[in-house]
């Protein structure tokens, strides 16, 4: 029996070293170690041997079995390496390798980063982020913001009208792409009674296209409504926001302006962060603020009682509550902060530009 065991061992050894593929190795494994192999049946027969031979035969059989196992796995590893190398050389892919060169991790778009910065600053002041639809009714975009039909202020915000057919007829109103985030003021007041403190970021649309205007751009709106709100609160809030965006030494100023939905209305400016009082050290006139010392940022004002009139039944009694609102362009903030001259660059997706932020 011992001879037989040795013979099986050397036969297996020869076959293993002659094997050319991992598939052949698998066949040899079944042939020599499988349940129906010679070695397995020999091992089973050991029980019937006379006691004197049992131990030696069992030991020899187990030893040969272990040898065959280790030769098989050694040869299998060598063949597998060769097969992988061949497959790679032939254009196959080694799926076990990490991606090389490692792909760089992307970053958030400048508009997203700027929007989040504004949201964070406003949330820090106790505001809640609110959103509204980009496809809007004329009522919210214009009428409820005190732009009655035919009002000339509608003309400076010409937009894209959609679904002139069934939807608009069913709603008995025009449907359009909103021209500003201000309609969310009315929607928010309809759904929540005062006090209300919201910041509203979002996409807006206008029939404009040049280096500083795009048919789609982003705005952020602020609205604060409660008893006893004054223009001083507006000024303090804007100061806090703009210092957070442009640096702790900034000052702000408000200039009288007109918006139909605020009274009084202002435009607000931030002190230039590239010069002192409009003059740079190298050249006399500052390029960023054009020598003025101030940079226009957005529009604001005290909510017009006419606007409250549209939501009066929800607790917005113009005799009792006051509010301020402001709006500004997110692209404009990002362009000012990072010295980007052409708005269109932000939307082109060129990684040399958008990869610089975040």
What is the smallest separation between the CB atom of 275 and ligand DAH, expressed in angstroms?
27
CB closest to ligand DAH, residue no: 327
What is the smallest separation between the CB atom of 319 and ligand DAH, expressed in angstroms?
21
Closer residue to ligand DAH (CB): 60 or 188: 188
Using the contact rule CB under 6 A, the part of the chain among 45-53, 62-70, 91-99, 319-327 near ligand DAH is 319-327
Distance CA 320, CA 229 (A): 11
> Within a 10 A sphere around the Cβ of 147, how many other Cβ atoms?
20
Closer residue to ligand DAH (CB): 37 or 157: 157
Work out whether 326 is an interface residue with ligand DAH (CB under 6 A).
yes
Site residue total, ligand DAH (CB under 6 A): 11
Closer residue to ligand DAH (CB): 32 or 316: 316
Work out whether 201 is an interface residue with ligand DAH (CB under 6 A).
no
In this chain, which of 37, 214, 237, 262 binds ligand DAH, going by CB under 6 A?
262
Nearest to 129 by CA among 194, 177, 196, 180: 196
Q: What is the 3-state secondary structure (H, E, C) of the chain?
A: CHHHHHHHHHHHHHHHHHCCCHHHHHHHHHHHHCCCCHHHHHHHHHHHCCHHHHHHHHHHHHHHHHHHHHHHHHHHHHHHHHHHHHHHHCCCCCCCCCCCCCCCCCCCCHHHHHHHHHHHHHHHCCCEECCCCCEEEHHHHCHHHCCCCCCHHHHHHCCCEECCCHHHHHHCCCEEECCCCCHHHHHHHHHCCCCEEEEEEEEEECCCCECCECCEEEEEEEEEEECCCCHHHHHHHHHHHHHHHHCCCCCEEEEEEEECCEEEEEEEEEECCCCECCECCCCCECCCCCCCCEEEEEEEEEECHHHHHCCHHHCCCCCCCEEEEEEEEHHHHHHHHHCCCCCHHHHHCCHHHHCCCC
Closer residue to ligand DAH (CB): 202 or 299: 299
In this chain, which of 325, 330, 334, 336 binds ligand DAH, going by CB under 6 A?
325
In this chain, which of 75, 180, 187, 332 binds ligand DAH, going by CB under 6 A?
180
Distance CA 311, CA 144 (A): 9
Closer residue to ligand DAH (CB): 194 or 327: 327
Binding letters toward ligand DAH, positions 231-260, x by CB under 6 A: ----------------------------x-
Using the contact rule CB under 6 A, the part of the chain among 49-57, 120-128, 192-200, 298-306 near ligand DAH is 298-306
Using the contact rule CB under 6 A, the part of the chain among 56-64, 114-122, 209-217, 325-333 near ligand DAH is 325-333
Work out whether 308 is an interface residue with ligand DAH (CB under 6 A).
no
Work out whether 301 is an interface residue with ligand DAH (CB under 6 A).
yes
Using the contact rule CB under 6 A, the part of the chain among 83-91, 235-243, 321-329, 335-343 near ligand DAH is 321-329
In this chain, which of 37, 114, 159, 182 binds ligand DAH, going by CB under 6 A?
182
User: By the criterion CB under 6 A, which residues form the site for ligand DAH?
Assistant: 180, 182, 221, 259, 262, 299-301, 325-327
């Amino acid at each position: 029996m011992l001879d037989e065991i040795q013979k099986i061992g050397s036969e297996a050894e020869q076959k293993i070293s002659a094997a050319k593929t991992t598939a052949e190795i698998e066949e040899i494994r079944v042939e020599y170690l499988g349940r129906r192999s010679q070695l397995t049946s020999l091992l089973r027969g050991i029980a019937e041997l006379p006691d004197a031979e049992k131990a030696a035969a069992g030991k020899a059989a187990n030893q040969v079995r272990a040898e065959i196992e280790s030769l098989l796995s050694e040869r299998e590893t060598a063949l597998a390496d060769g097969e992988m190398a061949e497959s790679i050389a032939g254009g196959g892919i080694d799926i076990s390798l990490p991606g090389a060169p490692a792909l760089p991790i992307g970053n958030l778009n400048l508009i997203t980063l700027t929007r989040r910065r504004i949201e964070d600053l406003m949330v820090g002041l106790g505001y809640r982020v609110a959103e509204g639809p980009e496809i809007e009714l004329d009522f919210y975009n214009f009428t409820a913001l005190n732009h009655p039909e035919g009002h000339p202020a509608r003309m400076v915000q010409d937009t894209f009208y959609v679904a002139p057919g069934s939807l608009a007829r069913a709603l008995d109103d025009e449907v359009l792409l909103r021209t500003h985030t201000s309609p969310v003021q009315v929607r928010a007041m309809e759904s929540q009674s005062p006090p209300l403190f919201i910041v509203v970021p979002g996409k807006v649309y206008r029939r404009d296209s040049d280096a500083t205007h795009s048919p789609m751009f982003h705005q952020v709106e602020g609205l604060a409504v409660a008893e006893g709100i004054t223009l001083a609160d507006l000024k303090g809030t804007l100061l806090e926001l703009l210092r957070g965006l442009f640096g702790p030494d900034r000052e702000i100023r408000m200039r009288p302006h007109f918006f139909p939905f605020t009274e009084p209305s202002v435009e607000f400016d931030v002190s230039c962060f590239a010069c002192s009082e409009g003059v740079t050290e190298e050249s006399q006139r500052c390029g960023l603020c054009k020598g003025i010392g101030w940079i226009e940022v957005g529009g604001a004002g005290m909510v017009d009682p006419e606007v409250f009139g549209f939501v009066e039944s929800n607790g917005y009694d113009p005799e009792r509550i006051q509010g301020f609102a402001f709006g500004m362009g997110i692209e404009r903030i990002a362009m000012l902060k990072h010295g980007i001259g052409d708005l269109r660059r932000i939307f082109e997706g060129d990684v040399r530009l958008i990869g610089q932020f975040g």
